[in-house]
Amino acid sequence: MIVRLRRSQAMVCIVLMACLTTSCMRNVSANPPQETSLQKISNALNSTTKSMTLIQTTVANANATTPPLIPTGTARSIMDLSLRFDKTIGEAITAGQKIAKLNTSTGSQLTVIIAPMVTAIDNAVKDPAILGIQDVKTRDTIRTTLVAIQTSLSTVQLIIATNK
């Protein structure tokens, strides 16, 4: 069941990121001074999506082994996080498609959308269930990838903060 969810989530992420990238490129063409900021946000969000897909794949593969390398409860918890993440990215994409210029108002809209996910990823990095995964390779892949997502989301926040 987890493997089926992961494949559909990956496809949704790819389609949504393509929409955001297209939107940002279209919007920055009309407003050249904002090109760098909007494109950097798009690139950072694209990076987070690729990273979350790696986590989903790692969890699905680890959960499919006999015996599972990750306890089912932990796998479910990580997949729930990825579903919330996908929803948040979808909201950011919808907001991003409407942005023609990054300013205080549009930056605040994006901040409100991604702030809960930043907190969720921060908590996941310190989650005892993730830290307690016995398989070192699986645990390190998940934690390292969560830190990469954390870094990308911090980059988005920094870009927004410096363009107000």
What is the sign, positive or negative, of the torsion defined by CA atoms of 134, 120, 39, 12?
A: positive
Give the count of domains, the chain.
Answer: 1
pLDDT tens track for 86-139:
999 889 888 888 887 888 888 999 999 999 999 999 999 999 999 999 999 999
Give 1's DSSP letter: -
Owning domain of residue 128: 2-162
Residue 96's pLDDT is: 81
Residue 34's pLDDT is: 45
The closest of 7, 5, 160, 13 to 93, measured between CA atoms, is: 13
Half-sphere exposure of 2 (CA within 13 A, CB side): 26
- CATH code of the domain in which 113 resides: 1.20.1410
Q: Using pLDDT thresholds of 50, 70 and 90, give the confidence band for residue 1.
A: very low
- Give the global pTM: 0.76
Give 32's DSSP letter: G
Hunting for tokens 């892949």 — which residue is that?
Answer: 141
Give the lowest-confidence range in 17-31, 38-52, 75-89: 17-31
